Chain A
């Protein structure tokens, strides 16, 4: 049977355990890319991915490999490693029958890996553990095997011992992929069911769906239907990724590839949707994905208000291949028209900001991240608020709930004290502490997400010299004593600077933000009072003194060109400022209020 010769798999690994390197080696060995065309991290084609050494987007590659004289088609679907992108991972898992789990020979099994392993197991994927980096002097294969057994519960016997970097053991990995992973079991004669696991926009071909064909087959000329919208299109091309698009005649059950059908609107090719044939198609769609839930929210505004339209287009395009990004228009009195965006986590937020600036050449202002709160009003109404400026008046609020996480922090033992102090300071509730081995401790705390999105990562990093890592999952909502902290510039509330904060923290944070703003807002023609207030009550005040001198020196002998250049430079600088009431505020002020670690 044809499908017996197909293996669809992904790679699960902790960041930096060598996933992209292994993917590169596999593609070298089995793929269609000539060695001379290979560049490092071939699947990570976003600049940000290469620079940060992380994978954000999943992407498939089609290869062929011979085992025992039989040729197999291998589809590798690359997956992101970071916890923020669990949603992306679940999408690739649904397109696979198996997964390679990379365990670093010197570092063992990591928290984030576990999350994805559990996801894979939930999706009934077969898992092949692989121990990587055996060439390192610090490699400890026996401990790694023991952890695979103890922590994950997989049999480590016979697992490939490899060095992706040195190209050792890659053959054995592919051999096990063929031998141990199940072949797809779709029904080629059933009506077409193709799961969209990603989509990209192509200027010539329109919105292209990346699909896993579960049942049936599809070829150019077929008329297809998207389940979600019910819209029909004529297929113009089907193909596979090698890793670039290569047209094929037909995609059949078990295949991973793409379908182009001149779809104009990217929203049609919704990730998680099922494609079938317009006539004689399937009656039921495949189970889709759990909709990714935004955990972190922030306002994104163009620095130059006239570029609102460009920002909108950019978000639309990003949303196309990052369905986990949510956004809706919002208006701020301070910043004008922009968007409230929902992200999976802080890293996701940073990535989106960076992509907007780099790929779309936009200068943006990002407001301090918020989480979403459940507000119970005195009149019994219940609402969810993720934008502090939309919080109803305190007098109408009965009580509020905030999201609480279960946070696991992995650290060398010497930092345990510092971390516990930090967690305590962040309203953490101690849960557990276990020594994984002599050099690693796992600390579990329940931490409000609201504290994590402020400055927890930075504080954790600086207190542990970068050695500790954090993973968190949402435990649920808990009642909490929260207040809205407003910042007033020259007497007017600047809505973009408002935050929701625990009552006990409000005073200290208000003072710090006022100080911070005093330092980032340049002196201007008039004195600027900066106040922090809760309700109508001012709890902190700073003043930016009036500017006294801002004048060009003498124009010697009628030479005005130099002076003019200086003024023009000054004007350029002003363009990065936002006029809020009578005050000019630099765009970085809105984010800088985050960097509040009282240690600095």
Chain B
């Protein structure tokens, strides 16, 4: 069974002001004990699911490139020891501009074939304001260096960062397109409660929702003009470079998540780990489990599938005995104008994708 593998590296050089994700600044010794915990979880998981074939690996964070030298190699040695990895597997490692340079050879050696770079912005003012560890020069150097080692490079950008205008966000994307990148993830900033940026929000100006939408639309158009096509709300790729791993999330395929706060979806059961890194190191085998009801499953198919331009794959629903056109007669009728409905899929028309919740709630 083809399965994705996600590995969470909860360490960063510096914590960004908007981040509420599982990451932490730690010494190399502490990081080693975490990697050991990861390896023991791998051993355990590989015995639990002896049948799985891994066809995508995603090492995310945090900042995987901030691990001590050799840390990534140890992880991949573990992966290859415990799991069967397809020869054509998509293997992505997330990296940040300030720490990627010295790690490229190690990533390549480990077997990575795709790098996702957290650039976020090419404005120095913005980068310093949101507390990133790099500036635009470091970012551009990092992109160039990465492209010299890897041909498949994705870049993360954030739209609507504090004090940024629509033009500011769009110009970051424009300048990124000077480089032959294959994939862009463009997210709108979301202020999460408890983050420093949230606490200080009154001191900054932010784009209104309408302006965020406008900014997003401009980015969609700009990327399309360069052949980088939206295939999910926030993800864009040259044809053939869509992230296989991320598509597993949206089409509800199986994936195994290892590490603190990592989530798994295996055989219609969802699992997650504690986000407390100390607790994870103590008991890496402990997972929280939730079996999904048929209603959960259907709700997920729509809320996730609608994010993609391909839409909800009806074959998945037919496989579990659901007659979509019967069961969803009312919302399909209501939203008929906004949907592309075919024999095989139901997707939201491009122009309504950025308001997809309006539609999705009627399917859950």
Task: Give residues in A with beta carbon < 8 Å to B.
Answer: 524-525, 545, 547-561, 563-564, 567-568, 570-571, 574
Least CB distance, A48 to chain B, in whole angstroms = 35
Q: List 29 A-B contacts (CB under 8 A).
A: A524-B358, A525-B352, A548-B214, A549-B209, A549-B216, A549-B354, A549-B355, A550-B358, A551-B354, A551-B356, A553-B188, A555-B249, A555-B304, A557-B257, A557-B261, A557-B263, A558-B6, A558-B249, A558-B264, A560-B263, A560-B270, A561-B270, A561-B272, A561-B290, A564-B364, A567-B303, A570-B361, A571-B361, A574-B362
Task: Give Cα A525 to B356, complex, Å.
Answer: 9
Which residues of B, 106-156, contact A by the 8 Å Cβ criterion?
none
B319 in contact (CB, < 8 A):
no
Is B360 interfacial (CB-CB < 8 Å)? Answer: yes
Contacts of B265 in A (CB 8 A): 558
Which residue of A is nearest B235, CB measured? Answer: A554
Q: B168 interface residue, CB < 8 Å from A?
A: no
Least Cβ–Cβ distance between B340 and chain A, in angstroms: 15
- Please state if A557 and B357 are interface contacts (CB–CB under 8 Å): no
In the assembly, what is the distance between CA of A559 and CA of B60, in Å?
13
Residues 176-213 of chain B, each 1 if its beta carbon lies under 8 Å from chain A, else 0: 00000000010110100000000000000000011011
Contacts of A559 in B (CB 8 A): 261, 263, 272
Whether A563 contacts B354 in the complex (CB less than 8 A), given A549-B212, A558-B249, comes out as: no
* Complex contacts, A545 vs chain B, CB 8 Å: 210
Contacts of A568 in B (CB 8 A): 364
> In the complex, which residue of chain B has the Cβ closest to the Cβ of A555?
B249
A residues within 8 A CB of B264?
Answer: 558
A141 CB to closest chain B CB (Å) equals 59
Instruction: Give chain B's interface residues, CB within 8 Å of chain A.
Output: 6, 8, 21, 60, 185, 187-188, 190, 209-210, 212-214, 216, 233-234, 248-249, 255, 257, 261-265, 270, 272, 290, 299-300, 303-304, 338, 352-362, 364
Which 6 residue pairs of A and B lie closest in terms of their CB atoms, listed nearest first?
Answer: A548-B213, A553-B190, A549-B213, A571-B361, A550-B357, A549-B209
Q: Which residue of B lies closest to A554 (CB)?
A: B187
Q: How far is the CB of A559 from chain B (nearest CB, A)?
A: 5
| Apart from A558-B257, A564-B364, 15 more pairs, CB < 8 Å | A547-B358, A549-B216, A549-B354, A550-B358, A551-B357, A552-B357, A554-B185, A557-B263, A558-B265, A560-B249, A561-B270, A564-B300, A567-B357, A570-B357, A574-B362
Residues of B contacting A554 in the complex (Cβ-Cβ under 8 angstroms): 185, 187, 234
Smallest Cβ-Cβ distance to A563: which chain B residue? B303
Structural contact, B361 and A574, CB atoms closer than 8 A: yes
Which of A525, A560, A574 lies in contact with B355, CB distance below 8 A?
A: A525
Q: Hey, which chain B residues are within 8 Å of A555, CB to CB?
A: 249, 304
Residues of B within 8 A of A524 (CB): 358
List the A residue with the shortest CB-CB distance to B355: A550
Q: Are B60 and A557 in contact (CB under 8 A)?
A: yes
CB distance from B287 to the nearest CB of A (A): 13
Is the Cβ of A564 less than 8 Å from the Cβ of B354? Answer: no
Query: A494 to chain B: closest CB distance in Å?
Result: 18
Chain B residues in 8 Å Cβ range of A567: 299, 303, 357, 360-361, 364
User: A525–B361 contact, CB under 8 A?
Assistant: no
Query: What distance in Å separates the Cβ of B225 from its nearest Cβ neighbour in chain A?
Result: 21
Task: Check A571–B364 contact: CB distance below 8 A.
Answer: yes
- Min CB distance A574 to B, Å, is 6
The answer to whether A548 and B209 touch (CB under 8 A), given A553-B187, A557-B263, A560-B249, is: yes
Enumerate chain B residues within 8 angstroms of A553, measured Cβ to Cβ: 187-188, 190
Most-contacted residue by chain B among A547, A548, A561, A564 (CB, 10 A): A548
Chain B contacts of A558 at CB under 8 A?
A: 6, 248-249, 255, 257, 262-265
Instruction: Provide the bound-state CA to CA distance between A560 and B190, in Å.
Output: 16
Q: Which residue in chain B gives the minimum CB-CB distance to A572?
A: B361
A435, B234: Cα distance in complex, Å: 73
Which of B190, B210, B262, B304 sits near A548, CB closer than 8 Å?
B210
For A561, the chain B residues whose CB sits under 8 A away are: 263, 270, 272, 290
User: What is the CB-to-nearest-CB distance from A528 to chain B, in angstroms, rounded to a whole number?
Assistant: 13
Which B residues are CB-close (under 8 A) to A525? Answer: 338, 352, 355, 358-359
Q: Which A residues are in CB contact (< 8 Å) with B8?
A: 557
Could you tell me if A551 and B233 are in contact, using CB atoms closer than 8 angstroms?
yes
How many Å lie between the Cα of A242 and that of B275 in the bound state? Answer: 63
Chain A nearest CB: distance from B266 CB in Å?
11
Q: How far is the CA of A182 from the CA of B145 in the complex (A)?
A: 107
Q: How far is the CB of A569 from chain B (nearest CB, A)?
A: 10
Instruction: Give the one of A547, A555, A558 with max B CB within 10 A.
Output: A558
Bound: A524/B362 CA distance, A: 14
Residues A548 and B360 in contact, CB atoms below 8 Å apart:
no
In angstroms, Cα B303 to Cα A555, docked, is: 11
Q: Which residues of B contact A552 (CB under 8 A)?
A: 303, 357
Contacts of B262 in A (CB 8 A): 557-558
A286 CB to closest chain B CB (Å) equals: 56
- Complex Cα distance, B23 from A556, in Å, reads 13
Give the shortest distance, in Å, between A411 (CB) and chain B (any CB): 44
Once bound together, how far apart are the Cα atoms of A516 and B353, in whole Å?
29
B15 smallest CB distance to A (angstroms):
15
Closest to A579 in B: B334
Which residue of the partner chain B has the closest CB to A568? B364
- A577 CB to nearest chain B CB (Å): 11
A90 to B209: give the CA distance in the assembly, Å. Answer: 59
A564: which B residues are within 8 A, CB to CB?
Answer: 299-300, 303, 364
How far in angstroms is the closest Cβ of chain A from B173? Answer: 17
Inter-subunit contact B6/A560 (CB<8 Å):
no
Smallest beta-carbon distance A372→chain B, Å:
37
Task: Give Cα distance in the complex from A549 to B210, angstroms.
Answer: 7
Which chain B residue has the least Cβ–Cβ distance from A547?
B355
**Complexed CA–CA distance, A556 and B22 (Å):** 10
Provide the bound-state CA to CA distance between A84 and B111, in Å: 82
Q: Within the complex, what minimum Cβ distance (angstroms) separates B267 from chain A? A: 15
Residue of A nearest to B360 (CB): A567
| Complex alpha-carbon distance, A407 and B320, angstroms | 69
Taking CB atoms, residues of chain B closer than 8 Å to A550 are: 354-358
Shortest Cβ gap from A356 to chain B (Å): 27
Q: Cβ of B257: which chain A residues have Cβ within 8 Å of it?
A: 557-558
CB atoms of B6 and A557 under 8 A apart = yes
Task: Kindly state the separation between the CA atoms of A554 and B158 in the bound complex, as whole angstroms.
Answer: 11
Q: Which residues of B contact A548 (CB under 8 A)?
A: 209-210, 212-214, 354-355
Return chain B residues, CB-CB under 8 Å to A551.
233, 353-357
Which of B185, B213, B362 is the most central at the interface, judged by chain A CB atoms within 10 Å of its CB?
A: B213
A105 to B42, CA, bound (A): 85
